Amino acid sequence: MNRFGLTIAVPRGALLGGSLDLLESASIDTSEVRANDRKLLFADIGVVTMRPSDVPTYVEAGAADVGITGKDVLMEHPERQIFELADLGFGECQMVLASEDGPDRAAAALARLGVMRIATKYPRIAAEYFEQSGRQAEIVTVNGSVELAPLTGLADAIVDLTATGITLQENGLVIREEIATVTARLVANRVAHRLKAAAIDEFVALISAGAKNTEA
């Protein structure tokens, strides 16, 4: 177990490297995690690794005291009973509305039919965005390569997360609107935040300082 006595949920994938760098700034040795792509639980340092979308589930249930996940996950699941403690500043992406290059099919569908069809992995975020802007949208939830949806006629446009825009460009899509900026966030279990307040406060201070040093 780490010196804080905390169980820490760490996201695999694009956020893993930045997350481990911040744990290192809190004097947690992450060499075993970096060296093992398949192992999920690292009890010696109090780290459990998982998909970013699963981090709030484990933290809410108390299987982890704190965790790191993307703001997109928190936006899509605001019902999770957890505390968001800090914006860690890394893993920045944009949540965007994108469609095929050329005439804007989504805008045309909205003008012609009064509704546009949007494919996304983020149905709640998409629905709330269009509702707030007073536009009618039929949301189609997909879990795979969302870029395929407008190319096959499944949808007029997509709402998705992009870091560089390269995947969109390679599939002939262009960004029409930017919805939100997304970064990695630190979250905590509500009970742990009360019972382990001193340890969590120290941990937050150290990794927040590490995040600022990384930005600098």
**pLDDT, tens only, 133-158:** 999 999 999 998 999 999 999 999 99
For residue 19, the model assigns a pLDDT of: 97
CA angle, 87 as apex, 83 and 91 as ends, to 5°? Answer: 120
Residue-level pLDDT at 210: 83
> Rounded to two decimals, what is the model's pTM?
0.93
| Torsion angles phi and psi, residue 112, rounded to 5 | -85, -45
Question: Tokens 């949806």 belong to which residue?
Answer: 149
Residue 167, pLDDT > 80, answer yes
Residue ranges of E strands in 4-87: 8-11, 41-42, 47-50, 66-70, 82-87
Q: Tell me how far apart the alpha carbons of residues 74 and 216 are, in angstroms, rounded to a whole number.
A: 26
Banded pLDDT at 216 (limits 50, 70, 90): low
Bridge partners of 157, per DSSP, are 118
- Residue ranges and CATH numbers for the domains of the chain are 8-91+183-215 (3.40.190.10), 93-181 (3.40.190.10)
- Statement: residue 215 has pLDDT above 80: no
Q: For 30-50, how does the pLDDT look when each residue is reduced to its tens digit (9 = 90+)?
A: 999 999 989 999 999 999 999
Per-residue pLDDT tens digits for 176-206: 999 999 999 999 999 999 999 999 999 999 9
Average pLDDT, the chain: 96
